[in-house]
Structure 1
């Protein structure tokens, strides 16, 4: 009991946040870098994330700011409520439009509504039996499908069979013809779903005349909900079946395939690339070499010591007490809630134990170049993790630091998708052209 209470006091004194260690040595990041959308730093980040997709049709800025003004900082139910209200209001607007007469208006409206439903779901996973986790997702996917059908070349969903499970994908064709074109395979990470990726990078990819396919693996949005699957470290079991599927399509140039991993995907993608060598490049936004080490580095040393003691009961009690304390940060509460849900457990000790399997240590020499390794200067989750991965890859890596002073220093390019896509896709262009037909 003394060990538990001692750790509880430690994390309380350190603010219970993901940035529990002092990351203020960089003078650029020590001052507020932009207007804050909430006094809660994690709510600010998620609201900025929602604003980010406005660049590619996933939100309207005024709608998001109006909802943001009503959200109570740190109140998960308030965040749900305001985005649910917004999502339903925009959905009703779309339903009132004649799709035959105004297809673009319906498409764009439904894209926004779908995006808002994803945000409404975001902080609900602390109660794993909350029925809204399913109902919001079913509504979101239904209206997103309307938008898919109204694209110039309709997007199509496909379930790709893997070993004992299927990989839900959405294929986006750049042109109605069957000319073989470069294709990006784009995957997300710890949270949200592949639908968000359309606004993150797919639309920018299509604008450049390339195809794109998004996917979700075990532990991610749909596989966790509908197949009851938790994350697996062997991510090649997810990506290789997707590559196999792409090789069946005449519109795909099989010699010009690149893999993109976003957020936690910045580890999953290079892990898959270590085994799947039909790829001509890998992109990590942002890069991660060893998830357990990077994750624990953001917390007080006492957390690591308690975990390494092997006392699961004491560790669980400490984390649960800290998570439920009045002063617990939103980021701390959310990362535990989301992790427990994604790994289908109620034990923080089990969750952190699983993190240890997500490492590139044993496969780093098998990862072929070139690898674009992004790093966010003001990353609130895994600060500096990209530089670590790049250092281990050596000359196989193209390292790029996105800078706070330019408005693009947030985790995974949040707030600057247009610029991030410019940097990444311009880097990819000569690689795809050299490799392609």
Structure 2
């Protein structure tokens, strides 16, 4: 479904299109928006996606006012998606006020959607280092107050995702299968980044621990059946978090990852002697060699606009050196729960997934998704139904003994 020639705009548009299976977007609305956008024009991109969001939000408000709850909630969910898509090209520090405004409107539309669900996802604030992390508890479908405890998925976002996108990726398939799902924006993600300026951190065990603490205070959560699932960069963050959290009953890494510097060091345009010295270099030594990467709009966005902002850094050299702090090799043996490692065919982020799998000393399963089943690529985004089938079937089997 190609809407743009511009590779960056096409990448962003696919983030909307992939949510269609969960009601997060409509192709006709995305196509209509794309026809009004000037290729490569960030202002045009933001203006037209927010215009579409306002149109769809207006439909939602009209239906809500007339008592048509299903129509209203469906439209509010799509409006929240289009607002999220509108601000991707605005990533970077200092934060563009248009991004802040669109993120706030996204949250409002999602909250209105949630209020109209049955049972409704409820906002949560996880106490964290003197502040809090925003999220939602999404109850299993068909549950009512007083029902017994349910297995609960804790979803871990990726680099540029947030709790609202994770509703489509994790909460919908989980709640349909009788699981509760806790969505939380951690440091460097979603509202924690946009609203509080919290930068990403490698020691995700310090993030997951208070999330688990809070999960165990929520109604209907079975303390013996906590699941952690990581998406995209969450394929690193989730295993790192679980390495310090023995209360987790099962872990899914999608895709499995290893030490972050090792993920891309060989592809960096550095002289051999400089590459060999990584990470023990002055970051300033790297900058001139890394500059050619920025000729690519996609790499400029990923490395500068997203990478430096999310990590709270000032240069590409600092970014490369900082990735060495993001390591699993030091803690992987502390993961003790059954673990599912995912590899999607053609997903460059999964390049070192087998290293994680081989290093694990817990009960473990390796699952490959392929082009032959239409599930290749990063996070199996174009066939999440197949992903959900295999992952949740595995979870059902792993957790089943605890239900007897």
**Common fold by TM > 0.5:** yes
Check 1:395–1:365 CA distance in 2 against 1; reply closer, same or farther (3 A cut): closer
| CA drift at 1:410 | 1.3
1:364 aligns with 2:332: yes
> Which TM-score applies when normalising by structure 2?
0.91
| CA drift at 1:66 | 3.0
Q: Deviations over 1:321-371 (max 9, x none)?
A: 642x4xx24244333210111122222222222211111011011111311
Is residue 336–residue 361 contact of structure 2 (8 Å, CA) maintained in 1?
no
Check 1:153–1:390 CA distance in 2 against 1; reply closer, same or farther (3 A cut): same
* Residue 164 of structure 1: aligned partner: 130
Q: Distance in 2 between matches of 1:98 and 1:280?
A: 40
| CA drift at 1:160 | 1.1
Aligned mate of 1:261, from 213, 225, 230: 230
Q: Distance in 2 between matches of 1:49 and 1:237?
A: 29
Is residue 192–residue 198 contact of structure 2 (8 Å, CA) maintained in 1?
yes
Check 1:342–1:132 CA distance in 2 against 1; reply closer, same or farther (3 A cut): same
> Which TM-score applies when normalising by structure 1?
0.85
Is residue 270–residue 289 contact of structure 2 (8 Å, CA) maintained in 1?
no
Q: Distance in 2 between matches of 1:318 and 1:90?
A: 46
Structure 1 range deviating more: 98-107 or 70-79: 70-79
Q: Distance in 1 between matches of 2:65 and 2:387?
A: 33
Aligned mate of 1:224, from 170, 193, 211: 193
Gaps of 5+ in 2: none
| CA drift at 1:395 | 6.4
Aligned mate of 1:389, from 356, 376, 387: 356
Check 1:71–1:302 CA distance in 2 against 1; reply closer, same or farther (3 A cut): farther
* Residue 161 of structure 2: aligned partner: 192
Mapping for residues 132-281 of structure 1, pairs under 5 Å: 132-174=98-140, 175-178=143-146, 179-281=148-250
1:403 aligns with 2:374: no
Mapping for residues 269-418 of structure 1, pairs under 5 Å: 269-302=238-271, 305=274, 308=278, 310-320=281-291, 322-323=293-294, 325=295, 328-379=296-347, 381-393=348-360, 396-418=363-385
| CA drift at 1:414 | 1.4
Instruction: Note the aligned Cα RMSD (angstroms).
Output: 2.3
| CA drift at 1:316 | 3.0
Q: Deviations over 1:392-418 (max 9, x none)?
A: 226633111111233211111211122
| CA drift at 1:423 | 1.2
* Residue 63 of structure 2: aligned partner: 97
* Residue 44 of structure 1: aligned partner: 10
Q: Distance in 2 between matches of 1:44 and 1:415?
A: 15
